[in-house]
Amino acid sequence: MFSKKITDVKKSTTKIQDSKKDLATRTKHLRNILDTVDIAEAKGFCEANFSHIYHILYDTFIQAENNLRQRVHKAHKEELDCALWILEQVLALLPELIHKRWQMHSLGHILAKLLHRPCYPN
């Protein structure tokens, strides 16, 4: 059972790192990894793959924002929830990188858009 978990994490890690995969697949595998491993492993995983995780976060947020501006559907709200979940994981698991001002302007821009009233659905 443990070997299957390790194999699944390795497969999911390669799918996250593959920029040719679509965003939904990369997001699904990121969520699977962070949901199955414990906090220490999740922190190590995030530190090893922070650039891939950031690109998934940014792309997910931009896609959700664009979809919500056009028309609000339940699926679009779920995309925004997913982006918020990834942002929460980044803030919780990578505080040292954030303290070093890693992606500070971009994360600040995302937070400013989230706090701006027209951004999120009714």
5 has pLDDT over 80: no
| In the block, residue with structure tokens 């906090």 | 39
Mean pLDDT to the nearest integer, 71-83:
87
CA atoms of 55 and 78, how far apart (whole Å):
18
* pTM: predicted TM-score of the whole model, two decimal places: 0.84
Query: Tokens for 14?
Result: 């390669």
Using one digit for the tens of pLDDT, what is the confidence trace for 13-58? Answer: 999 999 999 999 999 999 999 999 999 999 999 999 999 999 999 9
Tell me what pLDDT residue 122 has.
53
Tell me what pLDDT residue 4 has.
52
Listed by start position, the domains of the chain span 2-119
Least confident of 3-12, 24-33, 62-71, 83-92: 3-12
DSSP state of 121: -
DSSP calls for 33-89: HHHHS-HHHHHHHHHHSHHHHHHHHHHHHHHHHHHHHH---HHHHHHHHHHHHHHHH
3 has pLDDT over 80: no
CA atoms of 120 and 108, how far apart (whole Å):
17
Query: Tokens for 93?
Result: 């698991």
Contact 121, 72 (CB under 8 A): yes
